[in-house]
Amino acid sequence: MSTSTATITADSSTTDIVQGFFAAFGSGDLESLLSLFADEVDWDVPGAPSVPWTGRRTSKAELAEFFAVAGQEVAATEEFAVDTVVAQGRTAVALGRFTHVIRRTGKKFSSRFALHVAVADGHITLYHMFEDGHAAAVAFAA
């Protein structure tokens, strides 16, 4: 089920918000993406410093930078699938897989992922993405 971010409210379910995130991310709608996040976020994508989208972030300005960098660095997405979303209360975990082609090297980066999200008052307050950090570093290596 695809959820438009226009229907996301403080009363939306955690699953609706996570699905709204993936819909906005997939369409490249930065304004809708940023509207899903609280003003302060506990954001972490662990990984090698050579991978430009890894690291901690807390503000919407930093999130906007993340989405811009990810868009610039990924030349193409050959596969992106969310296999399942499990939600309990204000917490959800999404499991899936992707294959990206990195623009600067032309190398493919494939990984399974787990995304841990927490929601409060209709906004994402915690975003922890776990992907194959080694495969990402290899894809960015010259």
How would residue 142 be classed by pLDDT, with cut points 50, 70 and 90? confident
In percent, how much of the chain has pLDDT > 90? 89
pLDDT digit string, tens, across residues 42-55: 999 999 999 999 99
Closest to 43 measured CA to CA, from 54, 31, 30? 54
Q: Which DSSP symbol is given to 48? A: -
- Token couple for 46: 């662990």
Question: What residues does 136 pair with on adjacent strands?
Answer: none
Sign, CA torsion 27/30/35/39: positive
Give the residue from 20, 53, 41, 21 showing the smallest Cα distance to 133.
Answer: 53
Reported confidence tier of residue 88, pLDDT bands at 50, 70, 90: very high
Tens digit of pLDDT for each residue in 101-141?
Answer: 999 999 999 999 999 999 999 999 999 999 999 999 999 99
Convert the pLDDT of each residue in 15-26 to its tens digit.
Answer: 999 999 999 999
Give residue 6's pLDDT: 44
Secondary structure class of 106 (helix, strand, coil): coil
Neighbours of 11 (CB within 10 A): 8
DSSP H or E stretch at residue 110? strand 108-120
Nearest to 29 by CA among 64, 75, 76, 60: 64
Find out if CATH 3.40.50.620 is the number for domain 5-140.
no
pTM, 2 dp? 0.90
